[in-house]
């Protein structure tokens, strides 16, 4: 059974860079048919798709976040990562890593990790 | 940029009721129209893709329909475990969610 687990700091200072890693187990990240995604949800609010990466390195980003986001993949560790620069309080959210198949259909999700942007 | 608008934002219903949630896209797209269910404190669960295709294990009381820019999620014979928030999605855009509460 595929499992995804987010890891990284739960607190980030405003103007700094948020960094999270997702470890995939029970399956290979080097799948031609899947993209690996980050999605976030501010407390009490809705979902926001951040972007995704293919094991080949191809990436897609939400236009509203594109200027601040980098998603990368490390196939040797079966991991992928998110970096979000210049964070503000508005970036406080539960961040989920997930698997996309086809054209942005998210079928497996991590449990999510809360990241708070605060000094 | 594509935007998804759901209605209503919340609704109250009773066990056994039929519930309909609508989702409108700001533009027509070739991307799959997906529906997710989310319960408090848990990750969303994929219910339906390509407008009307149920994921494996999803009860048949859930159904999806629509075309172009207008889509619908219908739950017939609402069960206690169906009280949750539902999101539509197309490409990178999610709707704002519809909370289904117990009347």
User: pLDDT band for position B50 (50/70/90)?
Assistant: very high
CA dihedral B50, A44, B27, B75 (to 10 degrees): 40
Q: Is A70's pLDDT higher than 90?
A: yes
Q: Residue A93 in contact with residue A42, Cβ under 8 Å? A: yes
Contacts A103 to B, Cβ<8 Å: 30-32, 91
What pLDDT, on the 0 to 100 scale, is given for residue B63?
98
Helices (H), A12-118: none
A64 contacts in chain B (CB < 8 Å): 1
Contacts of B7 in chain A (CB under 8 A): none
- Alpha carbons B91 and A100: distance in angstroms, whole number: 11
Q: What is the pLDDT of residue B1?
A: 87
pLDDT of residue A81: 98
Q: Establish whether the linkage from the previous residue to B8 is cis, with ω within 30° of 0.
A: yes
The pLDDT value given to residue A30 = 96
**Beta-ladder partners of B99:** B10, B85
The angle subtended at Cα A68 by Cα A15 and Cα B42, nearest 5°, is: 90
What's chain A's average pLDDT?
97
Residue B86 pLDDT: 98
As a whole number of angstroms, the distance between CA A100 and CA A90 comes to 25
Residue A50, sorted as left (phi over 0), alpha (psi -120 to 50) or beta, turns out to be alpha
Bigger pLDDT: A101 vs A96: A96
User: What pLDDT score was predicted for residue A108?
Assistant: 97
pLDDT for residue B51: 97
Query: B78 falls in which pLDDT band (50, 70, 90)?
Result: very high
Any B CB within 8 A of A85 CB: no
User: Cβ of B83: how many Cβ atoms within 10 Å?
Assistant: 16
* Nearest residue on chain B to A66, alpha-carbon basis: B92
pLDDT of residue A88: 98
φ/ψ of B17, rounded to 5, equals: -70, 165
Rounded-to-integer distance, Cα B49 and Cα A104, Å: 10
CA B101 vs CA B11, B25, B77, B94: distances in Å = 6, 25, 14, 20
Mutation site for B-interface testing, chosen from A106, A108, A114 by largest number of B Cβ within 10 Å: A106
pLDDT (tens digit per residue) in B82-100: 999 999 999 999 999 999 9
Q: Could you report the per-residue pLDDT of A2-54, keeping only the tens digit for each?
A: 999 999 999 999 999 999 999 999 999 999 999 999 999 999 999 999 999 99
Measure CB to CB from residue A46 to each of B49, B91, B97 and give the nearest one.
Answer: B97
Answer yes or no: is pLDDT of A103 > 90: no
In whole angstroms, what is the distance from residue B82 CA to residue A62 CA? 30
């Amino acid at each position: 059974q595929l499992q995804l687990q987010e890891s990284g700091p739960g607190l980030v200072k405003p103007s700094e860079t948020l960094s999270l890693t997702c470890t995939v187990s029970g399956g290979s990240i080097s799948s031609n048919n899947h993209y690996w995604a980050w999605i976030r949800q501010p407390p009490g609010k809705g979902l926001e798709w951040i972007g995704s990466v293919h094991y080949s390195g191809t990436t897609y980003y939400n236009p509203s976040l594109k200027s601040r986001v980098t998603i990368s993949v490390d196939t040797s560790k079966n991991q992928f990562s998110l970096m979000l620069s210049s964070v503000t309080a508005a970036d406080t959210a539960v961040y989920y890593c997930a698997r996309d198949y086809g054209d942005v259909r998210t079928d497996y999700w991590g449990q999510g990790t809360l990241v708070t942007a605060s000094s | 940029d594509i935007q998804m608008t759901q209605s209503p934002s919340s609704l109250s219903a009773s066990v056994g009721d039929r519930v309909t949630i609508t989702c409108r896209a700001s533009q027509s797209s070739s991307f799959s129209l997906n529906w997710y269910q989310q319960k408090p404190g848990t990750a969303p669960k994929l219910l339906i893709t390509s407008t009307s295709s149920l994921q494996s294990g999803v009860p048949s009381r859930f159904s999806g329909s629509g075309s172009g820019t207008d889509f619908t999620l219908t739950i017939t014979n609402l069960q206690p475990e169906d009280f949750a928030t539902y999101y539509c999605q197309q490409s990178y855009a999610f709707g704002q969610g519809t909370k289904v509460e117990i009347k």
